Structure 1
Amino acid sequence: MSPEGADLALDQVSKSYGQVVALDKISFDVKAGELFGFVGSNGAGKTTAMRIALGVLAADSGEVRFGGAPITPRTRSRIGYMPEERGLYPKMKVFDQLAYLAELHGLSGSDARQRADGWIDRLGLRQRRLDEVQKLSLGNQQRVQLAAALVHDPAVLVLDEPFSGLDPLAVDVMSEVLREKAATGVPVVFSSHQLDLVERLCDRIGIIRSGRLVACGTVTELTADASSQLIVSAPRAEAGWAKQLPGVTVLDEDAERTVLELDPGVDDQEVLRAALETGPVREFRRRRPTLTELFRNVVSGGRK
Structure 2
Amino acid sequence: MRLDGVSYRYGRRGAWVLRDVSVDLPPGGTGVVLGRNGVGKSTLLQLVAGVLRPSAGEIRERPGPVGWVPERFPADQPFTVHGYLTAMARLHPMTDPVDTWIDRLGLTAYRRTRLGDLSKGTAQKVGLAQALIPRPKLLVLDEPWEGLDAAARELVPEIVEEVTAAGGIVLVSDHRGETGRLPGAITWTVADGTVTQGDVAQAHAVIEIAVPAAEAEATAADLRAAGHDVIAVRTKAVV
Match of 1:201 in 2: 182
For 1:58-82, what per-residue CA distance to the aligned partner results, in whole angstroms no more than 9, with x for missing partners?
212211112xxxx5xxx66x11111
| TM-score, scaled relative to structure 1 | 0.61
Assess if the C-alpha contact under 8 Å between 1:98 and 1:116 holds in 2. yes
Match of 2:43 in 1: 48
Of residues 78, 93, 112 in structure 2, which corresponds to 1:130?
112
Of residues 66, 85, 89 in structure 2, which corresponds to 1:98?
85
Query: Map of 1:83-162 to 2, 5 A cutoff?
Result: 83-106=70-93, 115-162=97-144
Residue type at the aligned position of 2:192: S
Residue type at the aligned position of 1:103: R
Give the distance between the partners of 1:16 and 1:82, measured in 2 at CA.
22
Assess if the C-alpha contact under 8 Å between 2:2 and 2:22 holds in 1. yes
What secondary structure sits across from 1:26 in the alignment?
strand
Give the distance between the partners of 2:93 and 2:18, measured in 1 at CA.
33
Match of 1:64 in 2: 59
Q: How far did residue 19 of structure 1 move?
A: 4.3
For 1:135-172, what per-residue CA distance to the aligned partner results, in whole angstroms no more than 9, with x for missing partners?
22221111110001111111111111111112322210
Q: How far did residue 56 of structure 1 move?
A: 2.6
Alignment RMSD, CA only? 2.4
Q: Determine if the alignment matches structure 1 residue 16 to structure 2 residue 3.
A: no
Of residues 23, 28, 32 in structure 1, which corresponds to 2:23?
28
Assess if the C-alpha contact under 8 Å between 2:71 and 2:143 holds in 1. yes
Match of 1:163 in 2: 145
Of residues 154, 161, 164 in structure 2, which corresponds to 1:182?
164
Q: Which has the higher contact order (CA 8 A, sep 6+)?
A: 2
For 1:241-294, what per-residue CA distance to the aligned partner results, in whole angstroms no more than 9, with x for missing partners?
xxxxxxxxxxxxxxxxxxxxxxxxxxxxxxxxxxxxxxxxxxxxxxxxxx948x
Deviates more, 1:50-59 or 1:115-124: 50-59
Among the aligned pairs, what percent are the same residue?
33
> Of Structure 1 and Structure 2, which has the larger fraction of its residues in strand?
1
What secondary structure sits across from 1:219 in the alignment?
coil
Give the distance between the partners of 1:184 and 1:214, measured in 2 at CA.
27
Assess if the C-alpha contact under 8 Å between 1:43 and 1:210 holds in 2. no
Give the distance between the partners of 1:118 and 1:134, measured in 2 at CA.
22
Q: How far did residue 208 of structure 1 move?
A: 0.7
Give the distance between the partners of 1:292 and 1:10, measured in 2 at CA.
29
Assess if the C-alpha contact under 8 Å between 2:81 and 2:111 holds in 1. yes
Paired residues, number:
204
Residue type at the aligned position of 1:16: R
Give the distance between the partners of 1:220 and 1:150, measured in 2 at CA.
27
